[in-house]
Amino acid sequence: MAAIEVEGLERKFEGGITAVDGVDLEVADGEIFSFLGPNGAGKTTTVRMLTTLLRPTGGVARVSGHNVVEDPAAVRRSIGVALQEAALDPLMTGRELIRLQATLHALPPDQVTSRADALLRRVGLTDAADRRIGGYSGGMQRRLDLASALVHEPRVLFLDEPTTGLDPVSRKTIWEEVEKLNDEGTTVFLTTQYLEEADQLADRVAIISDGKIVAEGTPASLKAEVGKPRLEVSVAEGTPAECEDVLSEFGERLPAKDGTMIVELSRGAAEIAPVVRALDERGILVEALELVEPTLDDVFVEKTGQHLEAADDESAPDPGTGEREALAE
């Protein structure tokens, strides 16, 4: 049985905004699945529907085999959720939050203390456990949020942009913890706007743009779809024409960039050594040589015509979130 099954999932808000537009996906048990897209693409709205916080206006979604609309209580029992912008009460202590979460998930009272201690130890917050959360760093808050989502040992874990705004060290710590959880058998559904995060963590990635999934597959297969590795070569003055001739023998030439010649290697990285030998045989002095693999951003560009970062800058806040705020006023 798949951990998450979604067919034609849709969410329209008042005012005609369609935040999620017919999403289909399936996440296998034990998989790390990443939902990649810029702000406003529909990632958070999708997570809110899958975690029963928002009712879909169309389609069907099942988590751990339970329909999110027909049996939301069963869904809630099987999932752990760490939402965007760690929803923590700054006046509570870390230990109080974990204990509260344990009570919400019906852990027997005699197990609450030991479970809280174990989770705080797991995320390295034992020393800070009795301090108020308001005094925690962003990374500590994220780790605490993650710990609180694990209190009932959920089968499926939803992480909505778990590392947004974190420094590289804190980000790496979260990644390691996510990988460890996955090794222990937890299915992870992760949304992110960071290419590197999706690339490093995910078994499979779905790229979402304007509420629709535009590409889905393993990071490697998605990258392979958009092209082959490129070799970027800078040579000493006086030899570029000759260099162009050599490079053309190994694959399709791409337009030069800032004086750097680029060739798409038809047989991939295996051709680096022959290229270097050929250049050397012709006496061409190479100043720099770099193999550039396609990235998920290239996939995003291929599918949407925009770079992920650029789309992020230009986009409005997530329609789901924005709409909620508007309606709340």
Partner 1 sequence: MLSRQTWRVIGTLGLRSAKQTFRRPQLMAPLIVFPTLLLAIQVGGAGRAVDLEGFPPVDSFLAFMLAGAMIQSTLLAGNSGGIALAVDIEMGFTDRLLAAPIPRYAMVFGRLVGTALLGLFTAFWFLAIGFVFGVQFTEGPLGIVVMIALVVASAVAFGSIGAAIALRSGSASVVQGMFPLVFVILFLSTAFFPQDLLQQPAQAIAEYNPLSFIINAVRDPVVFAFTTEDMLKALLGIAIIGALGAVLCARAMRHRLRVG
Q: Which one, 105 or 303, has the nearer CB to partner 1?
A: 105
User: By the 8 A CB rule, do 143 and 122 touch?
Assistant: no
**73 part of the interface to partner 1, by CB under 8 A:** yes
Q: Which one, 48 or 62, has the nearer CB to partner 1?
A: 48
Looking at 6, 54, 128, 222, which residue binds partner 1 (CB under 8 A)?
54
Distance CA 208, CA 304 (A): 10
CB of 172 to partner 1, least distance (A): 25
Q: Which one, 55 or 277, has the nearer CB to partner 1?
A: 55
**83 part of the interface to partner 1, by CB under 8 A:** yes
Distance CA 169, CA 328 (A): 36
**285 part of the interface to partner 1, by CB under 8 A:** no
Please state whether beta strands 79-82 and 156-160 pair in parallel, antiparallel, or not at all (unpaired): parallel
Distance CA 217, CA 131 (A): 43
- DSSP secondary structure string, 190-218? EEES-HHHHHHH-SEEEEEETTEEEEEE-
Q: Residue 61's closest CA among 44, 40, 80, 47?
A: 47
Q: C-alpha distances in angstroms, 123 versus 53, 177, 205, 213, 317?
A: 26, 8, 26, 33, 31
What is the Cβ-side half-sphere exposure of residue 291, based on CA atoms within 13 angstroms?
14
Q: Which one, 155 or 228, has the nearer CB to partner 1?
A: 155
Contact characters 88-127, partner 1, x per CB under 8 A: xx-xx---x---xx-xxxx--x------------------
CB of 321 to partner 1, least distance (A): 9
Query: How many residues bind to partner 1 according to rule CB under 8 A?
Result: 36
Looking at 18, 46, 51, 186, which residue binds partner 1 (CB under 8 A)?
51
CB of 51 to partner 1, least distance (A): 5
Q: Please give the single-letter amino acid code of residue 172.
A: K
- DSSP secondary structure string, 52-116? TSS--SEEEEEETTEETTT-HHHHHHHEEEE-SS----TTSBHHHHHHHHHHHTT--HHHHHHHH
Q: Which one, 85 or 196, has the nearer CB to partner 1?
A: 85
**15 part of the interface to partner 1, by CB under 8 A:** no
Q: Which one, 87 or 292, has the nearer CB to partner 1?
A: 87
CB of 218 to partner 1, least distance (A): 29
CB of 128 to partner 1, least distance (A): 17
Distance CA 106, CA 156 (A): 18
CB of 185 to partner 1, least distance (A): 21
Distance CA 171, CA 156 (A): 21
CB of 323 to partner 1, least distance (A): 7
CB of 153 to partner 1, least distance (A): 14
* Interface of this chain with partner 1, residues 133 to 192, rule: CB under 8 A: 148
Residues that bind partner 1 (CB under 8 A): 13-14, 48, 51-55, 73, 76-77, 79, 81, 83, 85, 87-89, 91-92, 96, 100-101, 103-106, 109, 132, 148, 320, 323-324, 327-329
